[in-house]
Amino acid sequence: MRKTMFAAALLAATMLAGTASAKTLVYCSEASPANFDPGTTTGGNDFDASSRTVYSRLVEFKHGSTELEPGLAEKWEISEDGKTYTFHLRKGVKFQTTDYFTPTRDLNADDVVFSFERQFDKNNVWNGDKYLPNLTWDYYTGMDMPKYVAKWEKVDDLTVKMTLTEPNAPMLANLGMDFASILSKEYADQLEKEGKMADLSTKPVGTGPFQFVDYQLDAVIRYKANPDYFRGKEKIDDLVFAITPDATARIQKVIAGECDIAAYPNPADIAMLKTNPDINLLEQAGLNIGYMSYNTTIPPLDKAEVRHALNQAIDRDALIKAVYQDAGATPANNLIPPTMWSWNKDVQFDKYDPEAAKKVLEAAGLKEIELWASDASRPYNPSFQRSAELIQADWAKVGVTAKIVNYEWTKYRSEGKKKDRPGAFQIGWTGDNGDPDNFFATLFSCSAIGVSNYSSWCDKDFEDLIQKAKTISDQAERTKLYEEAQVVFAKEAPAFLQAHSQVYNVVRKNVSGYLMDPLGIHRFDGTDKAE
């Protein structure tokens, strides 16, 4: 009894001492994480709280870029046929020691195999209900991993082999994504033995820069710097996520100094934030695209010149100004944003020319069109409805009457992706892994028709280029193919390309080393704070 009291007093004393001298960084996050297992979740806020803090991956995105660099794998080889990847793990990487787990060994190949196998192997005890009810492994299936990955094998303690069913160049970038975080098999085994499997999702253990301390549901998440982090201990001692769903409250908290960093300010607050002396407003063109898909299978939209004419009829600069307001956006010339490799700088989007458009549309006999809008607000398009109204007005000027079709967001997409959906459908995309394939193939490949190819567009030239680019691993060669694919896209115009929206992070001036991430994630490794 006396011993426990002493321990409690000691704990309280260290906690108090800790609060006095420790350097604490507070991030005002926008939503509560569903849980802390990045394999099972899909939201950006889930990943900020788990994979980017607690975990690391075989390969990592360079801080502030979409380029890949070695992570837990210090090097790797890809076989000639592009189907076998051999990863050599970094030696001596330690899993975090917490009050619920003490590792007895360093990271090894078993952990890597376990981290992936649990996501697809139905025989793995962690794949199903025994771990968590209603598991769907959305990202693993969403990225088509079951189709491409045949198996994971341990070669020796520090070597892992991944075999693919066919060559797939974007695979390496997939392994830098959140769902590919590496968990500790030793910890999983311990939980299984203790009958506390669900704890894997609530008390995470990884090899990342910060380790989990506590989560008060819907309120506060606490981490501390991982003293054994393989890249060295972070400069800040404690990292706190203050969950603040309302954008105005979030920004006021930064202004009041209650938090150091916040994401997603209201567009209306941008101007005020730019003039605030205590705040650095970081901005970047997001890795996203807002666009409007024409159904290219239904006449007269099956003709490229009609689609071009509809594009030309829209005053895009005025549209962007009205829709994105103070937050701003970059007019899109290509499907991929300018920050992404292989972006073709020579491609130009249709110029605003209502006169020319009118002639073509009259000749084609296009008088009425359905124009789809959802009530949702998305990062790449804050208001489909407002966009629709402006486009409707522009089209009216060239003699085309647009009927706005409105649905709630999930119904909107399920109706909109149907092959025979008529008219023009507003939608968009935010990149997952910084690979161009993640835009081109996901949104406009033939196999995506009925899933996420809302134009029902299947163009042989385009398809050949992007499929070929998928199978070769040389980036320079892939770049050429994607550049060419963008020329085809511009010529065929399966969609009206609207804009890449601007993304903001609000950071107090005494914070240094924080970089905006093109993938839209928020990571705090390398961040420091002056008191």
Q: Tell me the closest approach of the beta carbon of residue 192 to another protein, in angstroms.
A: 17
Helix ranges restricted to H, 106-221: 109-120, 138-142, 145-148, 171-174, 185-194, 199-202
Considering the complex, what minimum distance in angstroms separates the CB of residue 224 from another protein? 11
Q: Which is nearer to another protein, 252 or 325 (CB)?
A: 252
Please tell me the distance from the alpha carbon of residue 436 to that of residue 189, in angstroms, as a whole number. Answer: 38
Rg, the chain, Cα only: 25
CB-CB contact of 500 with 360 (8 Å): no
Measured from the CB atom, the residue of 108 and 527 that comes closer to another protein is 527
Nearer of residues 78 and 213 to another protein, judged by Cβ: 213
Residue (141 or 297) nearer to another protein, CB? 141
Q: What kind and span of H or E run contains 18?
A: helix 2-21
Query: What does DSSP assign to residue 325?
Result: G
CB of 53 to another protein, least distance (A): 16
For residue 56, give the nearest of 239, 172, 183 by alpha carbon.
Answer: 183
Nearer to another protein by Cβ, of 242 and 298: the residue is 242
Would you say 222 or 386 has its CB closer to another protein?
222
**CA 328, 330, 331, 334 torsion: positive or negative?**
negative
Residue 432 Cβ vs another protein, minimum distance, rounded to whole Å:
8
Beta bridge partners of 239: 25, 223
How many whole angstroms from its chain centre is CA 396?
A: 37
Type of residue found at 145: M
Nearer to another protein, 222 or 321 (CB): 222
Q: Which residues of the chain form contacts with another protein (CB under 8 A)?
A: 15-16, 19, 24, 26, 31-32, 34-35, 40, 42-43, 132-136, 138, 141-142, 198, 201, 214, 216-220, 222, 240, 242-246, 248-249, 252-253, 255-256, 258, 407-411, 413-414, 417, 428-430, 442, 450-452
Q: How far is the CB of 360 from another protein (least distance, A)?
A: 32
Least distance between another protein and beta carbon 16 (Å) = 8
What are the CA-CA distances from residue 60 to residues 74, 172, 231, 232, 437 (Å)? 11, 10, 13, 16, 18
* Closest distance of CB 134 from another protein, Å: 6
Pairing of strands 495-508, 288-294: antiparallel
Task: Determine the Cα angle at 128 with ends 123 and 131, to 5°.
Answer: 115
